[in-house]
Amino acid sequence: MRVVLAQPRGFCAGVVRAIDTVEQALVKYGPPVYVRHEIVHNKFVVESLKAKGAVFVEELSEVPAGAVTIFSAHGVARAVEDDAAGRRLAVINATCPLVTKVHNQGKRYAGQGRALILIGHAGHPEVEGTQGQIPAPVHLVQTVEDVARLEIPIETPVAYVTQTTLSVDDTRAIIAALEARFTDIRGPDTKDICYATQNRQVAVRELSKVVDVILVVGAKNSSNSNRLKEIGAESGIPSYLIANGRELEPRWVQGVHTVGITAGASAPEVLVEDVIDALRQLGPVEVTTLPGREETIEFRLPPELATA
């Protein structure tokens, strides 16, 4: 069996920074440090950090007064920041700088008096954070149909921002519908869309041209991993999202010549290797990597840990 790995795949710079933030906070302050929400959407990562002394909570009320508290890569609403300040928690903010950039862009548009539209998935923590960061109503749009349902007069100056785990291609149709509906509309430059989301999606499209089956390594609640699976399926290739090698169903690869593997932005490479090992249990495997875009982006740690 041939195994072809997508390039790039797995960890993005925002995820590396978020995980390093928790690890360095544990070194600097000692355990426990509290983390609001899964630092990134991956159980393996969360369990590894728990073993080192991180405590994951969903609500700040679960954090003892004064404790070191880390906000996840997805970002948080202003109300959460205010709540933390009110409780004198020692906050370290691991929000990805590209998510912060979306917050700032949204604030600028709202400050210009534009009605703000957010293209994203309801209930995702990043969407809740972005909605809660902008001191004005934010209209969430998930589909082209939602655009027609917006209760904003067509001559109103509007602007849109997007959830970072949507790519240029994901948002193209919705943006076209918005531009068709509103006469005065602004949006970010496409180069402001997260490089990692875009690159992983381009890579899985390339992968789909040369393989018979695609395995996406990632968590079920990882938005970008689900999207990689959908893109594989849209390309006509059976595609499966699995957390690790144990979730591999032998029937998916029975009689298959070439298996493609990619990984969501929050999935560590060790899990890709785990899936390859699971394939090896079924027979000899030859592994190659597709040529793809090389990523060199790195983000500095939050200022509290800058010297770490």
Residue 169 CA to residue 11 CA, distance in Å, equals: 21
Radius of gyration, CA atoms only, the chain:
21
Longest dimension (CA), the chain: 63
Note whether 159 and 117 are within 8 A (CB).
yes
Closest CB 152 distance from ligand SF4, rounded Å: 27
Q: Give exposure, 49-73, as e/b (b: 16+ Cβ within 10 Å).
A: beeeebbbeeebeebeeebbbbbbb
- Please say if 126 is a catalytic residue: yes
Closest distance to ligand SF4 from the beta carbon of 186 (Å): 21
Q: How far is the CB of 38 from ligand SF4 (least distance, A)?
A: 12
Q: Could you tell me if 70 and 305 are in contact, meaning their C-beta atoms sit under 8 angstroms apart?
A: no
Let me know: does 53 contact 31? Beta carbons within 8 Å: yes
* Footprint of ligand SF4 (CB under 6 A): 12-15, 73, 96, 98-99, 164-165, 194, 196-197, 224, 265
State which residue, 98 or 267, has the beta carbon closest to ligand SF4: 98
Q: Count H helices, E strands: the chain?
A: 11, 13
Instruction: Look at residue 2 and give its three-state secondary structure.
Output: strand
CA atoms within 13 A on the CB side of 251: 0
**Among residues 23, 38, 81, 126, which one is catalytic?**
126
Minimal distance, residue 216 CB to ligand SF4, in Å: 15
The letter for the amino acid at 215 is: L
Closer CB to ligand SF4, 74 or 279, in the complex:
74
Q: What is the DSSP letter of 156?
A: S
Question: For residues 177 and 267, which CB has a smaller minimum distance to ligand SF4 in the complex?
Answer: 267
CB 51 within 8 A of CB 31: no
Question: How near is the Cβ of 203 to ligand SF4 at its closest, in Å?
Answer: 14
> The dihedral of CA 185, 126, 41, 122: what is its sign?
negative
CB of 73 to ligand SF4, least distance (A): 5
Q: Which is nearer to ligand SF4, 95 or 208 (CB)?
A: 95
Residues carrying an active site annotation: 126
